[in-house]
Amino acid sequence: MATSRLAIVAGGGDLPRRVAEQAQRSGRNPFVVGLKGFVEPALLADFGGPELSVGELGRLIQLMKKEGCEEMVFAGSLKRPDFASLKLDLKGVQSLPKILAAAKKGDDALLRAVMDVFADAGFRIIGADDVLDDLRVNAGPLGAVSPTAEHWPDIRRAAEAAKMSGSLEIGQGAISCAGLILAVEAQEGTDRMLARIPDLTAEIRGTPTERRGVLVKRPKPQQELRIDLPTIGVITVDGAARAGLAGIAVQAGAALVVDRESVAAAANAAGIFIYGFTEAELE
């Protein structure tokens, strides 16, 4: 019996390509569908998939069934759409009231509502880490540098801030330096949050020559773990390095790293740590 195709709904960034390439290597014959305004055009050029509006739910379901897909994975970055100007097909219009009601409760409720549409259509939704075995961050250091005793108060402080922020549907990350919360991630994303740090007064933050402070990323308490897990990559490391941080800590088993070897090499070169913490270590 032929293996069913894997549908990959691709947002922005490099993660969709890595998922598609691994699916191809494992014989899953990926069917890549790009989300208009987010997907990298080169990905669709290489894999020959269509580009759809976020609101074309019916067409997406129809295409996935036509291509013999039984499983689907959402991969890549995606921002909340402008519902007022969103291009909708009939299924999108029918689903809109439920999706809009969920959107009022936060991004995670919105994502779950969208996932329900596809689950009700008979698709099994899996996580990007189910395709890429080495995607999840393990417990302990990723590179050659490890946090020291002086860094743990900031890891715990930022982890608590990120948890509280996540419970309010604000974001997944926070930065702490010497016990002071310097930033909490919101809709701007991690990269822009990191870019704000060098503008702060030097007395409360680290510098590339005297590193202090930690970025923590963790799932929201109510997170749907098959989609939108906290993700770090080389760009994250570069941003943390420019911000003068001492390191990055993410929740082990509940965060993704894109291109593990390159991320570790970038962290080593900058002299900063990347660490997968466990819940027990926060106590």
Same fold flag, 5-130 and 140-282: no
**Taking the domains of the chain in order of start, what are their residue ranges?**
5-130, 140-282
Give the pLDDT confidence score for residue 229 in this predicted structure: 84
The answer to whether the CB of 173 falls within 8 A of the CB of 162 is yes
CATH architecture, domain 5-130 = 3-Layer(aba) Sandwich (3.40)
Give the pLDDT confidence score for residue 76 in this predicted structure: 86
Burial (0-12, 13-18, 19+ Cβ within 10 Å), 232:
buried
Pinpoint the alpha helices (H) of the chain: 15-25, 41-47, 57-66, 90-103, 107-120, 128-131, 152-167, 190-196, 234-242, 260-270
Give the pLDDT confidence score for residue 42 in this predicted structure: 93
**DSSP secondary structure of 48-61:** ---EE-TT-HHHHH
* Torsion of the alpha carbons at 106, 112, 114 and 117, rounded to the nearest 10: -150
**Beta strand 180-184 pairing with 173-177:** antiparallel
Q: How far apart are CA 114 and CA 104, in angstroms?
A: 14
Residue in this structure with the two tokens 């969208």, named with its chain if needed: 114
Q: How far apart are CA 76 and CA 12, in angstroms?
A: 5
Give the pLDDT confidence score for residue 86 in this predicted structure: 74
Mean pLDDT, consecutive 10-residue stretches, the chain (283 aa), reads: 80 89 89 91 92 90 94 85 75 81 76 87 91 88 96 98 92 96 92 95 94 96 81 95 98 91 97 97 92
What's this model's pTM, rounded to 2 decimal places? 0.82
Give the pLDDT confidence score for residue 3 in this predicted structure: 66
CATH architecture, domain 140-282 = 3-Layer(aba) Sandwich (3.40)
Structure tokens at 35: 């989300």
The answer to whether the CB of 241 falls within 8 A of the CB of 212 is no
